């Protein structure tokens, strides 16, 4: 694995290799993230790198168990109303994202891939809903078995039942650094640690060590994106969490556990078909 989100994906394969993999019954993982500001200490692609890394690790496990797996080009145009006041957050309209995901699935289906698993790393509600809407349309209109892996936390947050055909409910490990009172989910300890582990070149470590923890609650997050001044006031540096509290081995374990849970549940899903 290098710094390219194309490494180990379909992008670096030739078309005959892709065709041969399909003939052998390969499945496809589609990583989805966003290009979004991640504090003063990290580049914009954290969520895209994270979705990519979990996808690659899940692919390696599945391949080792005899389930041929390809990774579609990581989809990095996402939706973020919350941080769009900061330069660097490219936010597309939900309908744009929905259309892009749909069209990616249509391309895959046209080459006979009909089992696709979305691994998403970006929590914005509208972003998640756009993915789920695209999956529902694709399942209905093109007879493709495409699902998004969703953990318990997101099932509650997105008001799903867990029984929807377009999701694959799996035991996603809890995010490290998520304390009871203050949220640490955006460019905080966990994401900083994930980047330091896998893409350290894109972290300004000395600066990260100096950043003060924020005291932002889930309740506070409701103002995000509603008004620019309120967003700037709540998260003046663009992060919420504790960048300096990064724990690289905890983050590595979380990513490994996530990839293993994803691989186990994809394997189980395929067996039950």
Least separation in angstroms between residue 188's CB and Zn ion is 9
- Select 59 or 122, whichever has its Cβ closest to Zn ion: 122
User: Among 47, 145, 184, 258, which residue sits at the site for Zn ion (rule: CB under 5 A)?
Assistant: 47
Closest CB to Zn ion among residues 27, 208: 208
CB nearer Zn ion, residue 42 or residue 167 = 42
Identify any residues that bridge with 29 across adjacent strands, giving them in sequence order: 71, 117
Judged by CB, which is closer to Zn ion: 69, or 80?
Answer: 80
Residue 124 sits in the site that holds Zn ion (CB under 5 A): no
Write out the binding residues for Zn ion, residues 27-46 only, by CB under 5 A.
46
Q: 12 is written with which tokens? A: 């670096």
Provide the minimum distance between the beta carbon of 240 and Zn ion in the complex, in angstroms, as a whole number: 10
Reported residue count of the chain is: 273
**In the complex, what is the shortest distance from the CB of residue 110 to Zn ion, in angstroms, rounded to a whole number?**
32
Nearer to Zn ion, 52 or 102 (CB): 52
Report the nearest approach of Zn ion to the CB of residue 129 (Å). Answer: 18
Closest C-alpha among 26, 74, 76, 67 to residue 52: 74
Q: Is 263 in the site for Zn ion (CB under 5 A)?
A: no
Would you say 26 or 175 has its CB closer to Zn ion?
Answer: 175
Cβ closest to Zn ion, residue 28 vs residue 50: 50
**Residue 183 C-beta: closest distance to Zn ion, Å:** 12
Residue nearest to Zn ion (CB): 47
Min dist. Cβ of residue 38 to Zn ion (A): 6
Count of residues binding Zn ion (CB under 5 A)?
A: 2
Interface with Zn ion, residue 224, by CB under 5 A: no
Report in angstroms how near the CB of residue 79 gets to Zn ion at its nearest: 13
Assess contact for 38 and 46: CB atoms under 8 A: yes
Name the site residues for Zn ion (rule: CB under 5 A). Answer: 46-47
């Amino acid at each position: 694995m290098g710094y390219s989100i194309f490494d180990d994906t379909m992008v670096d394969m030739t078309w005959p290799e892709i065709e041969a993999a399909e003939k052998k019954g390969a499945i496809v993982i589609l990583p989805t993230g966003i290009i979004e500001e991640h504090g003063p200490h990290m580049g914009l692609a954290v969520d895209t790198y994270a979705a990519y890394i979990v996808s690659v690790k899940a692919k390696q496990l599945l391949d080792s168990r005899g389930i041929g797996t390809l990774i579609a080009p990581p989809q990095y145009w996402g939706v973020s109303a919350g941080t769009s006041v900061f330069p660097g957050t490219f936010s597309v309209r939900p309908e744009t994202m929905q259309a892009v995901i749909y069209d990616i699935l249509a391309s895959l289906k046209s080459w006979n891939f009909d089992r696709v698993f979305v691994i998403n790393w970006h929590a914005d509600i509208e972003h998640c809903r756009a993915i789920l809407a695209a999956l529902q349309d694709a399942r209905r209109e093109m007879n493709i078995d495409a699902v998004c892996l969703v953990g318990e936390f997101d099932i509650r947050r997105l008001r799903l039942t867990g029984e929807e055909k377009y999701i694959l409910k799996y035991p996603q490990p809890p995010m490290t650094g998520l304390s009871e009172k203050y949220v640490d989910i955006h460019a905080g300890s966990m994401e900083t640690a994930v980047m330091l582990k896998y893409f350290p070149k894109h972290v300004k470590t000395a600066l990260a060590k100096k950043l003060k923890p924020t005291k932002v609650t889930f309740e506070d997050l409701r103002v995000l994106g509603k008004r620019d001044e309120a967003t700037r006031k709540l998260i003046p540096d663009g992060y919420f969490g504790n960048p300096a509290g990064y724990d690289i081995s905890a983050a590595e374990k979380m990513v490994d556990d996530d990839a293993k849970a994803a691989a186990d549940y994809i394997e189980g899903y395929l067996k039950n078909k």
